[in-house]
Amino acid sequence: MPKDVITTRAKDYNQWYLDIVREADMAEVAEIVRGCIVVKANGWAIWEMMQRELDDRIKETGHSNVQFPLLIPKSFIMREAEHVEGFAPEVAEVTRAGGEELAEPYVIRPTSETIIGHFYSRWIRSYRDLPLLYNQWCNVMRWEMRTRPFLRTAEFWWQEGHTAHATEADAEAETLKILHEVYADFAEQVMAVPVIRGLKTEKEKFPGALRSYCIEAMMQDGRALQSGTSHNLGQNFARAFDITYTDQGNTVQHCWTTSWGISTRLIGALIMTHSDDEGLVLPPRLAPTQVVVVPIYKNDAERGRVMEAVARITAEWKGRLRFKVDDRDNLTPGFKFNEWELKGVPVRIEVGPKDVEKGSVAIARRDVPGREGKSFVPQAGLTERIGALLDEIQASLFQRALAFREERSAFVSTYDELKQQIERGFAWAYWDGSDEDEKRIQDETRATIRCIPLEQPGTPGACVYTGRETTRQVVFARAY
Amino acid sequence: MPKDVITTRAKDYNQWYLDIVREADMAEVAEIVRGCIVVKANGWAIWEMMQRELDDRIKETGHSNVQFPLLIPKSFIMREAEHVEGFAPEVAEVTRAGGEELAEPYVIRPTSETIIGHFYSRWIRSYRDLPLLYNQWCNVMRWEMRTRPFLRTAEFWWQEGHTAHATEADAEAETLKILHEVYADFAEQVMAVPVIRGLKTEKEKFPGALRSYCIEAMMQDGRALQSGTSHNLGQNFARAFDITYTDQGNTVQHCWTTSWGISTRLIGALIMTHSDDEGLVLPPRLAPTQVVVVPIYKNDAERGRVMEAVARITAEWKGRLRFKVDDRDNLTPGFKFNEWELKGVPVRIEVGPKDVEKGSVAIARRDVPGREGKSFVPQAGLTERIGALLDEIQASLFQRALAFREERSAFVSTYDELKQQIERGFAWAYWDGSDEDEKRIQDETRATIRCIPLEQPGTPGACVYTGRETTRQVVFARAY
């Protein structure tokens, strides 16, 4: 594997991303199925790690997993006015099955509010049935025109939570609980990706939602990536699908529903937040392999002694570290170092004949390339040392990403400043414009309002576009 | 919840099954999507337990998980002669997407040999790339005419393993390793379902396979349920999709491939092996909740003392037992007992004021109904006692199912005996008939050859149908 299989970010950021996706065994474009990808072993293993962590949080907050059908009667998609506008143009339709034309086509779910709404209307009778707190892990399909591995694909994999509540306050509390306790916590603690928690503008919200909340992250090219959304759907879907309950006073009321999702596009966010020109960089909490051990030897006698030491060193790692011993015989250590660097393994341990003599090993950090990240440490106490190092790497990746975001963020007070700042990163600005103003800025700059952050300064200022005084700040950026 | 929500097996076995599926919160028929189901919370939780156990075994035997597209170009299905015959009549086709008619339709995968074959032909170049050992967890779709929750549904969920090898011997070893170390081990050790490991006849094998192996279980009505299949595909798909490698002698060879799958129909097998007229019975290793604690009290003072004892008792259970404390206030203990019995929780603990005084609890086994399964034990040492009891229940369920199968199995030496025996269960018989004989027996008796068991007596006998001498025995049964 030659060193230069990865294009540098400076040379071509887009190609750098595609090179990592390919060389780190993450995914491959499935040209024969338009817009779809094959998720390869390293990519799917990372998604499994993400699923496990998210699923724990989803269950801890009181939700159960269920599974609704892949297919939705086409007429369902048409029932909620904004929803049909948002999704009807990009659905894939099943019109024939079992050798016959279908009377009514089905669509492959682009998202499941409609079919789940249908069932909730049957399952919910009384206030005693509420809240209903379900989630599903599944594939969905949206016939996108411009696709990119993980970031935007026709088929993708996600979780979609769907809940029903008696009151607006309950639905709002659920929407925010997911945003904070599940999504932002997962992004920051597990992915080591700092996020801004905010509200979407009317123009950017989910089709059919009352309010959409999101977490927004900054990629290494300064662009934003929406990393999770949590929607208070109000009573819109409850009205469209007749989801009602009888309250304690025996009155029939419409429910308040929510939906929220995080998808495989997060794998793209992970790559673009931490990786470097040598390949993938993974935070230890998501690394399918946290530690790789590369034995170094020149002959069978050395091999015997080295492998014996490796067996001894790794004996106590089982169940404590996710590790691999790379004992392939026909490859040089240098080749192996490269391959594991490409695949993003956080810590590499090298054991050679001299290490065996001295009772030491060499330890190299993936996140600090070259000599600076390499040290020689005693074999005694190695397990604890690696555990502490993994924690340090996890924290360091987060801090580095946070520092990068801060460095690339600035407050802007004029439209000209805004235009300049979005070339670099996030532009914070006072905002009191209309939907049309927002649209005009997007046409002129390709930047959108990513969100209205939940944390606001509270002091008034002049809108960056209209000059009108407001206390509301927003974040503008170009986005994936 | 009235006691008689479950029809007895004696009255109507089929209705008994449907009642359990409904009342134990397992699944619901999704009438608006033909042949599909919604898998509800208890059903999906069991599937997640199954997935975890199977996935561990699949990874321990050296496989990685990946994910291939949901859609397959329709022409792919047509490439392997037997495969097209088997699957083309029951595919669902996507003919429109993004508002346009597609030039070539896609089918929703009924199984993925064809699309995976396409990618393997690109990925495999040399003997060094072999074996290729991948698996995927996904949904698949087959437009079945007669459906039944879990047992036969248009959409179902499964894992499908797909491997490529250099030689026939390697492919055969893989096929058998999956059958024994993954599928039979999982069925017997985890599901507590005894299985017969065998080879399918030519008539019953997978469309496109060289040889299909299976595990077959007996349900409580004496019918067989195929619980997992492992196929040696020979070079059939390698030829159809041009999967070749260059061997050590620099000659280009076709690969030998395998595929193997286990699906959500196993949930049906689980229900029909262990459950009784009171509802679901779950083996402890697959029970999402292994122990439920029901506090019993008449007033607030009692409630305080009882709940304090419950908190103390369960404090050390976290991470050791999967348990729930049913502290719902508005329901009677009797109602709760019924509900958890319906849902199959293996062990119930009751704690009342007298138990608090005596330092005891009542403990009830789900698999032994009534007084016989209930005892009073000290609170001291309860955790270990429950652990041991769960092991005992797991073993006892297996033994009970095994004894049932043995009691309902018999060797038959004439066609008349065969016809009688398949009314009761499995008929073991010498077999040297043709495909046509097999078909004729099926038409006349609705029984099929479930498999040619891998364990054979080795002594010769007369074929039950033709009278010709043979050493081969087979198992006949009616099947789900």
pLDDT at residue number B3: 55
**What is d(CA B451, CA B444) in angstroms, rounded to the nearest whole number?**
19
**What is d(CA B286, CA B289) in angstroms, rounded to the nearest whole number?**
9
pLDDT band at A457 (very low <50, low <70, confident <90, very high): confident
Q: B106 CA to chain A: closest CA distance, Å?
A: 8
Q: Which two tokens stand for residue A326?
A: 């790379």
pLDDT in tens, B319-340: 999 999 999 988 999 999 999 9
**Inter-CA distances, A414 with A243, A417, A423, B471, Å:** 47, 5, 15, 91
**CA angle, B206 as apex, B201 and B211 as ends, to 5°?**
55
- Going along A51-206, which residue ranges are E strands? 64-65, 71-73, 92-97, 100-108, 132-141, 155-165, 196-199
Asked if A41's CB is within 8 angstroms of B143's CB, the reply is no
Asked if A92's CB is within 8 angstroms of B98's CB, the reply is yes
pLDDT in tens, A227-277: 999 999 999 999 999 999 999 999 999 999 999 999 999 999 999 999 999
pLDDT at residue number B79: 86
Asked if A96's CB is within 8 angstroms of B95's CB, the reply is yes
Ramachandran sector of residue A284 (left: φ over 0; alpha: ψ -120 to 50; beta: rest)? alpha
**Inter-CA distances, B195 with A33, A333, B216, Å:** 39, 47, 5
Q: What is the 3-state secondary structure (H, E, C) of B32-86?
A: CCCCCEEECHHHHHHHHHHHHHHHHHHHHCCCEECECCCEEEHHHHCCCHHHHHH
* A10 in B contact zone (CB under 8 Å): no
Omega within 30 of 0 (cis) for the link into B131 = yes
| Residue B2 reports pLDDT greater than 70 | no
Q: Which two tokens stand for residue A394?
A: 């996890």
pLDDT in tens, A264-308: 999 999 999 999 999 999 999 999 999 999 999 999 999 999 999
* Segment B171-177 mean pLDDT: 98
Q: A40 CA to chain B: closest CA distance, Å?
A: 5
- Give the predicted TM-score (pTM) of the model: 0.96
Asked if A38's CB is within 8 angstroms of B67's CB, the reply is yes
* A78 in B contact zone (CB under 8 Å): no
Buried b (16+ CB within 10 A) or exposed e, A153-183: bbbbbbbbbbbbbbeeebbbebbbbbbeebb
Cβ contacts of B40 on chain A, cutoff 8 Å: 66
Asked if B139's CB is within 8 angstroms of A70's CB, the reply is yes
* Closest listed residue to residue A292, CA positions, set A335, A329, A321: A321
pLDDT in tens, A131-145: 999 999 999 999 988
Q: Best interface-test mutation with B: which of A26, A29, A96 has the largest number of B CBs within 10 A? A: A96
Asked if A48's CB is within 8 angstroms of B67's CB, the reply is no
Q: Which two tokens stand for residue B369?
A: 């109904």
Q: B330 CA to chain A: closest CA distance, Å?
A: 11
pLDDT band at B446 (very low <50, low <70, confident <90, very high): very high
Q: B residues 108-167 near A, CB within 8 Å?
A: 108, 115, 118-119, 134, 138-139, 141, 143, 145, 155, 157
* A105 in B contact zone (CB under 8 Å): yes
| H helix or E strand, kind and range, residue B270 | helix B265-274
| Residue A1 reports pLDDT greater than 60 | no
Asked if B90's CB is within 8 angstroms of A92's CB, the reply is no
pLDDT in tens, B32-45: 999 999 999 999 99
pLDDT at residue number A82: 81
Q: Are B316 and B291 in contact (CB under 8 A)?
A: no
Burial of B152 (0-12, 13-18, 19+ CB in 10 A): middle
pLDDT at residue number B86: 83
Q: What is the 3-state secondary structure (H, E, C) of A353-420?
A: HHHHHHCEEEEEECCCCCHHHEEEEECCCHHHHHHHHHHHHHHHHHHHHHHHHHHCEEECCCHHHHHH
* Segment A4-22 mean pLDDT: 95
Asked if B97's CB is within 8 angstroms of A97's CB, the reply is no
Q: Best interface-test mutation with A: which of B25, B29, B44 has the largest number of A CBs within 10 A? A: B44
The DSSP secondary-structure symbol of B153 reads: -
**What is d(CA A51, CA A20) in angstroms, rounded to the nearest whole number?**
22
**What is d(CA A199, CA A218) in angstroms, rounded to the nearest whole number?**
17
- What is the separation of C-alpha B301 from the centre of its chain, rounded to a whole number of angstroms? 47
Burial of A442 (0-12, 13-18, 19+ CB in 10 A): middle
Chain A and chain B share a number of CB contacts under 8 A equal to 141
Asked if B106's CB is within 8 angstroms of A91's CB, the reply is no
Cβ contacts of A28 on chain B, cutoff 8 Å: 119
The domain locations on chain B are 3-274, 289-388, 409-477
**What is d(CA A386, CA A390) in angstroms, rounded to the nearest whole number?**
6
Q: 10 Å Cβ neighbour count for A380? A: 10
Q: Are A33 and B106 in contact (CB under 8 A)?
A: yes
pLDDT at residue number B20: 98
pLDDT in tens, A355-369: 999 999 999 999 998
Range in A49-58, A289-298, B85-94, B458-467 with the lowest mean pLDDT: B85-94
| Residue B107 reports pLDDT greater than 80 | yes
pLDDT at residue number A325: 98
pLDDT at residue number B81: 78
- Between B208 and A47, the more confident residue is A47
| Residue A101 reports pLDDT greater than 60 | yes
Cβ contacts of B66 on chain A, cutoff 8 Å: 38-41, 44
Q: Residue B93 is nearest to which of A33, A95, A115, comparing CB atoms?
A: A95
| Choices 3.30.70.141, 3.40.50.800, 3.30.70.890, 3.40.190.10: CATH for A289-389 | 3.40.50.800
Residue with tokens 């059919």: A208
**What is d(CA A329, CA A295) in angstroms, rounded to the nearest whole number?**
10
**What is d(CA B22, CA B16) in angstroms, rounded to the nearest whole number?**
10
pLDDT band at B1 (very low <50, low <70, confident <90, very high): very low
pLDDT in tens, B191-225: 999 999 999 999 999 989 999 999 999 999 999 99
| Choices 1.10.10.10, 1.10.3720.10, 3.30.930.10, 3.90.76.10: CATH for A3-274 | 3.30.930.10
Q: Are A12 and A29 in contact (CB under 8 A)?
A: no
The DSSP secondary-structure symbol of A8 reads: P
Q: Quick one: CATH architecture of A409-477?
A: 2-Layer Sandwich (3.30)
**What is d(CA A27, CA A21) in angstroms, rounded to the nearest whole number?**
6
Q: Residue A70 is nearest to which of B96, B134, B141, comparing CB atoms?
A: B141
**What is d(CA A309, CA A351) in angstroms, rounded to the nearest whole number?**
8
Q: Which two tokens stand for residue A295?
A: 């034995």
Q: Residue B97 is nearest to which of A66, A98, A143, comparing CB atoms?
A: A143
Q: Which CATH superfamily is domain B289-388 in?
A: Anticodon-binding domain (3.40.50.800)
pLDDT at residue number A3: 55
* Segment B96-125 mean pLDDT: 96
How much is the ipTM here? 0.95
Asked if B96's CB is within 8 angstroms of A93's CB, the reply is yes
Range in B78-92, B153-167, B254-268, B387-401 with the lowest mean pLDDT: B78-92
pLDDT in tens, B237-272: 999 999 999 999 999 999 999 999 999 999 999 999
